[in-house]
Structure 1
């Protein structure tokens, strides 16, 4: 916690978090060793009670009250979260401290008998409260909005709790198993320097004999020269096929070397994308011992109990130089209530976090996501890289990122044109008219991908267009992973045999699938989805001329149960109408930066208030409120909230 200015706070929380184990009842519980009584003797709230009764009195300063609140929460919740304020407006910390903090006087006396004096604890608390006050002052000056301010104070509480859980579980694991995970040096610059040199030597082996290779090299070099910028939130906007994975890896290694970052974290929205990225990262890092993959498809090879246990420990703590994980696991680390997720939060400090396909962050989580990455950047000294070919305008959301995000690679029309392989054609018709359109297109191409918004649309179109003249395939998210893999393998084989192919699918084919079709037909949805689908057309530049991607507005579809797709479709139609009136405003290109930006601004405007705050209809509130201001259950008199 020292690098983020909370060394003394972490030390004090660590000192007091388990003093309940010094009580006689707990020692008897240990001596009996009865598994059936596991967890029956509470030892968590004695440390909380000491803090609250000594530093949280009416005569104590506001600084003392705030610090004792946050530290007591970190101690009290290290074996499981509790409601700070519940539906009856009962204050959880006060209630549990009184009910479960029994025998705390005896525990404190036992602590003093171990050689720690009351004066030493007072001095430690004074230093810890100064640390916390410094951060609270920064947050108060940064967030004028009370709701945002309360939310980020909650993130500070989560950070303290995460550190307590990490220290507690690490020591317990070492004692119980005798296994101590690899200890990485404080100065990791030599690691990053060595791996960066390895990567750059491999990059030199790439041929530079084509416009695409030359453009990829330019993108990579720009990433390498941007590294000296301080920790912050940056965009890496690279066209499909632009070498985004290697360029972001090069930036991350070089930036980590420049600022002695503790780890690199790479997230992907889909397992299919993650597995492709992981293969590239492993090949160009050149040391598997530095890398931890954390996702559901990792299979632990039989390597003995110790090896398995060490991997489990690393998965719980993310204590490895390079982490490759899913967006879901990353979001769990930010917001999930399980202690296993909370524990990893401290690992985000002083990291480089590369978020691939940033546009896939769920819209209902945008507020929480924006505030969290801002907190990581400003308070935890993390650098966040938002990667996408269709960058969302996070500075235009309901609770926006406050800064105008800088591009690592500035937009260059010539470079983007190098990777352009398709042109967008827009049409409108009813669903029953689309089969005829598909049959007509199949007469002019060897392969066609049709991407639908709904499974029933895909089933209908497949049924209506089956023909002995070509081989038909179907893919959707309801198919199990192995079934999808089998179909994709057969589809890939058929495409390479130059046989006529029709594939009708849902959004599962939009990303993470390395297949190339002669044409793509996408039922109109969000522009990000259309661009992703276009990435499956002429993917490898098989045709030297631009191939058509048809965006068809299905005028009679009902997307009432899919509000995000409906909002995306509405925003896309707004863009198409604006483009038709003033094409020069968008550089004459529906895939241009100007077009994508206009689309996202329209998309966010379509959202009702609270949509981005993770609405909980049953409770008539939002997760943003519950994790911050808590206006639903807090006392009616919440004036002066900034004094907290």
Structure 2
């Protein structure tokens, strides 16, 4: 009696009749798709991983399980099954048995294609270690007990590319191969299970066509632009970006002062460069969601909603619902021509182990990545980040643009004996011919420094001084400082901090921009969330002492368009309480750089000063790889013994630590959503809508509010505002007290 043909999946038609996805077809189709995705870095490896990834589904126990689970064999529907049947270990074991040490590379991919890339050996108790799983041959034996097509079991000759045989390059290569496999598996399964959804993917305009659209937009801007010195400089920056786009794939820096038009000029470079080198997409990586929303809207206005994916935790689901559904699908794997995402999403994905986070990695290959506000790369993870950046440009055809007004010191540092002290990025091509000259040309402010960097100002005195200005922005580093100063300011002063939910902040920023455009009176007290990229233009800006980059970014909110008859005024002051942690070390380095100019007024901060500042700041830190990521992902022998899952758990750009997310009742919509949450439970669509109504608190802030029942746990691990008076329409979430603590780092 012939065995029934093994199946991979089952769906039901409109008449509730089963339609079977044959397993051999699935394996061949995944292999073909994965091979296509891995064209530039390991097509043969991806093809074999695709053929072997579901070998465990040939196991008769799995076939019985899927028939019973779907219930399409009605006579067996009553049979009870305990849990799933492991179908990933068999293929991993087959690869290791047939290809030896080389096969372990495939074993990582296959064993993890559902649960995520495993560790080689157990470390944090986070899932089964690959070494242990490969010792169990029972899954493979059961799968091989049936007849499997010869072409699927064929043993290839595989050799890792030369660069992947170097220990420091191995882990990223495995993760990108893994991405090719899991995305191919997802897509082939979706093609069978939901063909209508699958067919909505990939319906984008080409980059050459988008470049035409962009050029038309830029030509229209040029025709309507006012004649001004600033616009002349912006036009020259644009020209230099377009000329640099002709250069080979690699690392670039774009050193342009705030207000120099980096957003559009960098897009011009990216489009011209991508078309010139036949690259597949453009990815913008931005540190703050407030800048992302602003930048993504600029791009949508030019290219249309369907060609731009905005991917971050605060994306507005209502806005998404109005866009083409393919934009939402593209957030799963970044296959859109233009993606705008956060630094957290981008870098945590590059170090991820989970399938959903890794799925997009192969689509970073052969792309242009613009890293906006590069100075905000987290110093505690700088070493592993720089290593990945080197590898992307060297081995994966990724052009990376380090775009900022304050370039950090990222070059390799040598000690007096020419030994590497800090490995960095070398061979970075600066797009702007003479950045020093450009900074001089774009001088629009005077920087007034305190007479004594060790004598602080009190808030009462400062508030009285600020009240004399009709339009002024003051930026502080601590949330409590923002509240203390705001309480002393004239009525109507705006407040901005991360104790306000994203929806609240967005509304306030739009109000401020409107008043600035219409010439009204406006005073703002803010934490540093407005510093990088938020398009505000004040005649006067005050900045609490901070790192040199923060001071320069604050200055970028002053006389931004250069329209004042005289230069704008930026005043640096010493706050009553110093910042702590990284912000404190940054401020110390800033004082060190500026103390020689105490009491003076500076016309500019030259680019070289930022390099010196960052070099000093990094040297103050105990480590640039505090989680030991490089060591976890550096096999010390030829066995490829990497700790993928542990590294992913430890690489966190925003520390989980002792923090809690609280849903707040900012407006009627938030209150309605919270009522639905309490009644319906944490359904995914609802949690996404609520994402814009969250505030993150440290434990010392959170626990008193929980004890007093100002907040309460409405579902396991889900906390919400319980008292209507807890959220203030000006200040955001009210706290009992803000004492010096790790909260100083929260902006």
Q: TM-score, normalised by structure 2?
A: 0.72
Q: 2:175 aligns with which of 158, 163, 168?
A: 158
Alignment RMSD: 3.2
Cα distance change on mapping 1:266 and 1:559 into 2, 3 Å: same
Q: Which residue of 2 aligns with 1:606?
A: 620
Q: Which residue of 1 aligns with 2:423?
A: 400
Q: Does residue 422 in structure 1 map to residue 445 in structure 2?
A: yes
Q: Does residue 535 in structure 1 map to residue 579 in structure 2?
A: no
Q: 1:324 aligns with which of 340, 346, 364?
A: 340
State the Cα deviation string for residues 262-290 of structure 1 (Å, max 9, x = none): 11111221222112211222233x34433
Question: Which whole-Å CA distance do the structure 1 matches of 2:239 and 2:222 have between them?
Answer: 12
Q: 1:626 aligns with which of 610, 626, 632?
A: 632
Q: Identify the range of structure 1 (531-540 vs 224-233) with the bigger mean alpha-carbon deviation.
A: 531-540
Contact 2:299 2:308 in 1 (8 A): no
Quote how far apart the aligned CAs of 1:248 are. Answer: 0.7
Q: Does residue 341 in structure 1 map to residue 357 in structure 2?
A: yes
Q: Does residue 50 in structure 1 map to residue 94 in structure 2?
A: yes
Question: Which whole-Å CA distance do the structure 1 matches of 2:55 and 2:556 have between them?
Answer: 58
Quote how far apart the aligned CAs of 1:461 are. Answer: 2.2
Cα distance change on mapping 1:95 and 1:186 into 2, 3 Å: farther
1:450-461 alignment runs, 5 A limit: 450-461=474-485
Q: 1:84 aligns with which of 113, 120, 132?
A: 120
Question: Which whole-Å CA distance do the structure 2 matches of 1:301 and 1:590 have between them?
Answer: 41
Quote how far apart the aligned CAs of 1:312 are. Answer: 4.5
Q: Which residue of 1 aligns with 2:378?
A: 362
Contact 1:370 1:399 in 2 (8 A): no
* Structure 2 counterpart SS, 1:599: helix
1:557-572 alignment runs, 5 A limit: 557-560=577-580, 563-572=581-590
* Structure 1 counterpart SS, 2:498: coil
Question: Which whole-Å CA distance do the structure 2 matches of 1:421 and 1:411 have between them?
Answer: 18
Q: 2:164 aligns with which of 136, 155, 173?
A: 136
Q: Does residue 433 in structure 1 map to residue 458 in structure 2?
A: yes
For structure 2, the 5+ residue unaligned runs are 1-36, 72-79, 414-420, 642-747
Cα distance change on mapping 1:193 and 1:34 into 2, 3 Å: closer
Question: Which whole-Å CA distance do the structure 2 matches of 1:228 and 1:497 have between them?
Answer: 42
1:162-181 alignment runs, 5 A limit: 162-178=179-195, 179-181=197-199
Question: Which whole-Å CA distance do the structure 2 matches of 1:282 and 1:44 have between them?
Answer: 41
* Structure 2 counterpart SS, 1:3: coil
Question: Which whole-Å CA distance do the structure 2 matches of 1:106 and 1:378 have between them?
Answer: 43
* Structure 2 counterpart SS, 1:162: helix
Quote how far apart the aligned CAs of 1:311 are. Answer: 4.5
Q: Which residue of 1 aligns with 2:567?
A: 546
Cα distance change on mapping 1:181 and 1:248 into 2, 3 Å: farther
Q: Does residue 98 in structure 1 map to residue 135 in structure 2?
A: yes
Quote how far apart the aligned CAs of 1:157 are. Answer: 1.2
Contact 2:50 2:181 in 1 (8 A): yes
Q: Which residue of 1 aligns with 2:239?
A: 221
Q: Which residue of 1 aligns with 2:489?
A: 466
Contact 1:356 1:387 in 2 (8 A): yes
For structure 1, the 5+ residue unaligned runs are 57-64, 141-148, 616-621, 636-644
Cα distance change on mapping 1:190 and 1:429 into 2, 3 Å: closer
Quote how far apart the aligned CAs of 1:629 are. Answer: 4.9
Cα distance change on mapping 1:196 and 1:455 into 2, 3 Å: closer
Contact 1:188 1:260 in 2 (8 A): no
Contact 2:463 2:489 in 1 (8 A): no
Question: Which whole-Å CA distance do the structure 2 matches of 1:599 and 1:19 have between them?
Answer: 55
1:283-302 alignment runs, 5 A limit: 283-284=301-302, 286-295=303-312, 296-299=314-317
Question: Which whole-Å CA distance do the structure 1 matches of 2:119 and 2:544 have between them?
Answer: 45
* Structure 2 counterpart SS, 1:394: coil
Question: Which whole-Å CA distance do the structure 1 matches of 2:618 and 2:532 have between them?
Answer: 23
Q: Does residue 506 in structure 1 map to residue 533 in structure 2?
A: no
Q: TM-score, normalised by structure 1?
A: 0.82
Contact 1:422 1:548 in 2 (8 A): yes
Question: Which whole-Å CA distance do the structure 2 matches of 1:200 and 1:426 have between them?
Answer: 39
Contact 2:449 2:598 in 1 (8 A): no
Q: Which residue of 2 aligns with 1:233?
A: 251
Quote how far apart the aligned CAs of 1:589 are. Answer: 5.6
Question: Which whole-Å CA distance do the structure 2 matches of 1:187 and 1:134 have between them?
Answer: 36
Contact 1:181 1:313 in 2 (8 A): no
Count of equivalent residues: 582
Contact 2:536 2:557 in 1 (8 A): yes
Question: Which whole-Å CA distance do the structure 2 matches of 1:268 and 1:494 have between them?
Answer: 26
Quote how far apart the aligned CAs of 1:302 are. Answer: 8.6
Contact 1:579 1:590 in 2 (8 A): no
Question: Which whole-Å CA distance do the structure 2 matches of 1:133 and 1:511 have between them?
Answer: 40
Contact 1:472 1:501 in 2 (8 A): yes
Q: Which residue of 2 aligns with 1:448?
A: 472
